[in-house]
Amino acid sequence: MKIVNIETDRRGEHEEKVFSALGADYRCVNCGGDTGIIAREAGDADVILFTASKVNKELIDSLPKARLFVRYGVGYDNVDLEYTKSRGVKVCNSPSYGSYDIAEHAFALLMAVNRKIAAYDRGIRAGTFGKSADYKCYRLEGKTLGLIGFGRIARRMLKFSSGFGMNVLVYDPYVGEDVISLQEARKVGFEEVLIDSDYISIHAPLNSETAGMFGTPEFEKMKDTAVIINTARGGLIKTGDLIEALRSRTIRGAGIDVYDDYPRSADHPLALLDNVVLTPHAAWNSVEAAYALHEEVADEVARFIRGEELRNVVNK
């Protein structure tokens, strides 16, 4: 059994230990996303480990021996699910490793925006003590948190919010009302979340149904005191519409960790706004999550090698 990580030349210690014990050949090569290099370096691999590479028809066809792709991460919008399925190639993600951390980060963004933490900090550093963004702060107690999606991360968010005495609405067409009510939340439609929530936190996958689900029409239905948090995928929000909604104070603020247009310079329109808190796609990051990610990937590959049922197949 041959396993190749196509995005790094650093061999994971945990993977090394697990794969070696199973007699597998494990290699790591940073191919830079180049299909030609990947084909040359991993053309004999049975298992491909990846993160950002586009697993599309071109890549699949260049790796005729590959039967399993495992992603270091939760999202899989960079994978052609239908083509991989048609070729009999299984694709797995790593859905559990950072669910606590992402939820923690999402709630931290909510708090930072709500209490103007970043704005206060910037004001002090700029020598304008006591001056800050011109939006109001509100207590969280008794306010309504709207969750878009109700997977592992959103359920953690619900637990965090309960400690602040918040009410929770959930929009997720794929989760039953009975499951949601057991978590002491209420299942509602998308429009009701928009209209009634004081805070909205997005925890949905990016696909054809959800791309651009938040734009000007949605922001206009939200309260002008509402805050939106996105730690899921940048493409779920139309960036230009968000910028306009923040500029015009159509909504009060936003906490953003993921982008379709990363703010890589200080003059990016998002970076110029005082009612948004930005972080660099770092919600997953903790020492514990990093180790858990390596464990989750290695364990899934180990099941494949042993001929056991895989837990995290996303192209069934």
Q: Which residues contact 271 (CB under 8 A, 6 or more apart)?
A: 263, 265, 278
Judgement on whether residues 296 and 159 belong to the same structural domain of the protein: no
How much is the pLDDT for 132?
A: 75
Kindly provide the residue ranges of all beta strands, DSSP E only, lying in the chain, ordered along the sequence.
2-5, 25-28, 47-50, 68-71, 90-92, 144-148, 167-171, 186-187, 199-202, 227-230, 253-256, 276-278
Q: Classify residue 315: in a domain, yes or no.
A: no
Q: How far is CA 164 from CA 15, 74, 113, 145, 244, in A?
A: 40, 28, 16, 11, 30
Half-sphere exposure in the Cβ direction for 276 (13 Å, CA): 26
Q: Classify residue 310: in a domain, yes or no.
A: no
Number of domains composing the chain: 2
Q: What is the DSSP letter of 11?
A: P
Q: Classify residue 314: in a domain, yes or no.
A: no
Q: What is the DSSP letter of 275?
A: S
Judgement on whether residues 222 and 134 belong to the same structural domain of the protein: yes
Judgement on whether residues 215 and 108 belong to the same structural domain of the protein: yes
Structural domain boundaries, residue 238: 99-278
* pLDDT per position as a tens digit, 143-160: 999 999 999 999 999 999
Average pLDDT of span 120-145: 90
Judgement on whether residues 250 and 150 belong to the same structural domain of the protein: yes
How much is the pLDDT for 211?
A: 97
Judgement on whether residues 142 and 253 belong to the same structural domain of the protein: yes
Judgement on whether residues 114 and 82 belong to the same structural domain of the protein: no
Residues forming beta bridges with residue 90, ordered by sequence position: 68
Q: Classify residue 178: in a domain, yes or no.
A: yes
Q: Classify residue 316: in a domain, yes or no.
A: no
Q: Which residues contact 31 (CB under 8 A, 6 or more apart)?
A: 6, 7, 37, 38, 41, 42, 53
* pLDDT per position as a tens digit, 19-40: 999 999 999 999 999 999 999 9
Q: Classify residue 312: in a domain, yes or no.
A: no
Judgement on whether residues 133 and 268 belong to the same structural domain of the protein: yes
Judgement on whether residues 74 and 107 belong to the same structural domain of the protein: no
Question: Per-residue pLDDT for 274 more than 90?
Answer: yes
CATH number at residue 146: 3.40.50.720
pTM of the model: 0.91
Query: Percent of the chain at pLDDT above 70?
Result: 100
Question: Per-residue pLDDT for 129 more than 90?
Answer: no
Judgement on whether residues 199 and 263 belong to the same structural domain of the protein: yes
Judgement on whether residues 107 and 250 belong to the same structural domain of the protein: yes
* pLDDT per position as a tens digit, 207-241: 999 999 999 999 999 999 999 999 999 999 999 99
Judgement on whether residues 128 and 247 belong to the same structural domain of the protein: yes
Q: Classify residue 311: in a domain, yes or no.
A: no
Coil, strand or helix at 303: helix
2-5/47-50 β-pairing: parallel
How much is the pLDDT for 134?
A: 84
Average pLDDT of span 121-129: 90
